[in-house]
Amino acid sequence: MIEALVTLVILSLGLLGLAGLMSESMRATLESYQRAQALIMIQDIAARITANRLVAACYAITTDLTNGSPYLGTGVTSTPTCTAGTSTQQNRATADLSDWNSMLKGAAETTASTGGTNIGGMIGARGCISLIATNTYQISVAWQGVGKTSAPSSSMSCGKNLYGDEAYRRVISLTLQIPILS
């Protein structure tokens, strides 16, 4: 009887360990998915800016590199307008920023069971585009992680102080230089 109880205790501890491993695996999978989505979104807007490079300045939503705002995505109800270039270029830039704003909010995937709620994006996604030098832009995407890590470096200010504890904020940035073609 004692042997059966000892076996049961050992088996229970093993199953608890397995449950913890599964939980950690699911968290890591979600973190990986969110990082992949952020990379796709950065590459998307970088390609859009490059394709409409004559009005690249319209894409810079003048995100302050100190406090990380303004931004697009979660909590934003309107997108900036463009006043440079031709009307076609302006419309393209405005449409690109509007599309990116929707993608950050998860509009790529919705659920019918909750009336079309966006579910395809990262948790609390925000996108920032800053002009950091002549024809050089910093594109960043910030989102809320599901577990604490070290806070992002001070050079990555997108979404700063918007996720409660900074250890939950995740940020990926890309520096994009637009060539001057003659």
| Domain count of the fold of the chain | 1
Is 26 inside a domain boundary? yes
Residue 129 counted as domain residue: yes
Encoded tokens for 98? 């509007």
Q: Are strands 117-118 and 110-111 parallel, antiparallel or unpaired?
A: antiparallel
And the tokens for 117?
């709620």
Query: Is 182 within the bounds of a domain?
Result: no
Q: What is the tens place of the pLDDT at every residue in 46-74?
A: 999 999 888 888 888 766 666 667 788 87
Domain assignment present for residue 111? The answer is yes
45 is written with which tokens?
């807007």
- For residue 145, is it within any domain? yes
d(CA 164, CA 123): 13
**Long-range pairs of 23-29 with CB within 8 A, sequence gap ≥ 24:** 27/146, 27/147
Domain assignment present for 80: yes
Q: What's the CA gap between 96 and 94, in Å, rounded?
A: 5
How does DSSP assign 40-74, residue by residue? HHHHHHHHHHHHTGGGGGGG-----TTT--S-EET
Tens-digit pLDDT profile for the chain (182 aa)?
A: 888 888 999 999 999 989 988 888 888 888 888 888 899 999 999 999 999 888 888 888 766 666 667 788 877 777 788 888 888 988 899 898 988 888 888 765 655 555 655 566 788 888 888 888 888 998 999 888 887 777 676 667 787 787 788 788 888 989 999 887 76
Q: State the Cα–Cα distance between residues 26 and 155, nearest whole angstrom.
A: 30
Q: Which domain holds residue 55?
A: 2-177
Tell me the whole-structure pTM to 2 decimals.
0.78
